[in-house]
Amino acid sequence: MSSLNPQGANRARLESALAGRLAPVAVYAVYDWFAQNRPKVDWQRLFALGLGQINHATMVRHTRPHVQVIETTGLHESGQMRRDVRWVTDIGELHEWHLGEWQQEYLIKSPEDYRILARALSDVTVTPTLEAFAASEAQIGDNGVTLGCTLLRRTPFQAIQIDFAGLERFSMDIGEGRPELLYLIEVMNDLTCREFEALAQTPARFIKLWENLTIETMGPRLYRERLVPVYEKLFGILRRSGQRLCVHYDGKLRSIAQDIQRLPFDMDSLTPPPEGDLSVAEARALWPEKFLWLHPPLGWHALPDALLAERIRQMTKDASPGGFCLMISEEVPSSWARTVPLILKTLGSMKKE
């Protein structure tokens, strides 16, 4: 994609900001998933006005000797597409299904299912793959950057909670210390480290973990016990490769703010109140060295133009002097035709201030 951005190429400005240099105009960018899956939005108009894009490329491949994953699709009675997924192993079978974009059933429904999933993810061979990254770079051109991702997408604690078991099942089982769950976490921790070893062999300079973290779902104790040690192992791998990690933390974080301060990653989709519980000014004071990928709350898009513009100006001022950008990372606002151009115009006008 060739950028028509009137403020200049988003890639150059974003990379400058990531390097800690102040760009003349802050970047405002959208996740590639929304650009691909919200066809009613006039993306070409928004890109021409200066909107950037943040792409994600899966850069590892798994060979799983103990499982066959079978997917089938069909039309649901609601008129939406239903997708069924079966994980078949020699010790049992797991099933989940999705309706449109939304998961309706999880693979894990009982403690025994953790054992089956651990079997499915045991003895996995991990290899780097460059096809998705090359395709992304060709598509995005000078309009943004590509972030490399693992196949698991999240760290194991988060992946099991969000993707495989669901919050209710997971919370009960982690609270009881179910040995089947704890074993699965260890299997997946090892797999994640090997995924990062493979990522270290790729040209991706920026690595993304889709943690979707708000501390309300686990509390500080479990965060320190279960996530921080894994992050520290991953940092060791990336330190050798010189790559940079960002984590998608889009909820409340105040109770672990000091922990985050000590962890050398950047904050993706950081959202101020009411969704989050830290203002941008507080985040910058706490984390002066971190790059902040900032998500203006969706509620702001319902504000009058003048007030929305003032919120955006204040957000960018509060994020300075460190590196930052603004992003559409949770959902495309329904008022996109009015508010996205307004935000781009507001950012452009700040060059003159």
Of 12-21, 289-298, 321-330, the one with minimum mean pLDDT is 12-21
Give the pLDDT score at 39. Answer: 96
DSSP 322-336: S-EEEEE-S---TTH
Residue 5: predicted pLDDT: 53
Residue 239, class by beta-carbon neighbours within 10 Å (0-12 exposed, 13-18 middle, 19+ buried)? Answer: exposed
Question: What are the structural domain ranges in the chain?
Answer: 10-64+121-352, 65-107
pLDDT, tens only, 229-272: 999 999 999 999 999 999 999 999 999 999 999 999 999 999 99
Residue pLDDT, tens place only, 284-305: 999 999 999 999 999 999 999 9
Mean pLDDT calculated for residue range 33-56: 97
CB atoms within 10 A of CB 273: 12
| Residue 23 reports pLDDT greater than 80 | no
- Written as one letter, the residue type at 311 is R
Residue 285 CA: distances (Å) to CA of 297, 319, 321:
20, 9, 10
Mean pLDDT to the nearest integer, 304-318: 97
Average pLDDT (94-104) is 96
Number of neighbours of residue 118 by Cβ within 10 angstroms: 20
Q: What is the pLDDT of residues 184-212, one digit of tens each?
A: 999 999 999 999 999 999 999 999 999 99
pLDDT reported for residue 22: 76
The domain defined by 10-64+121-352 folds into TIM Barrel (3.20.20)
Per-residue pLDDT tens digits for 122-168: 999 999 999 999 999 999 999 999 999 999 999 999 999 999 999 99
Rounded Cα–Cα distance for residues 181 and 327 (Å): 35
Under DSSP, the state recorded for 164 is I
Can you give the pLDDT at residue 8? 58
pTM of the model: 0.94
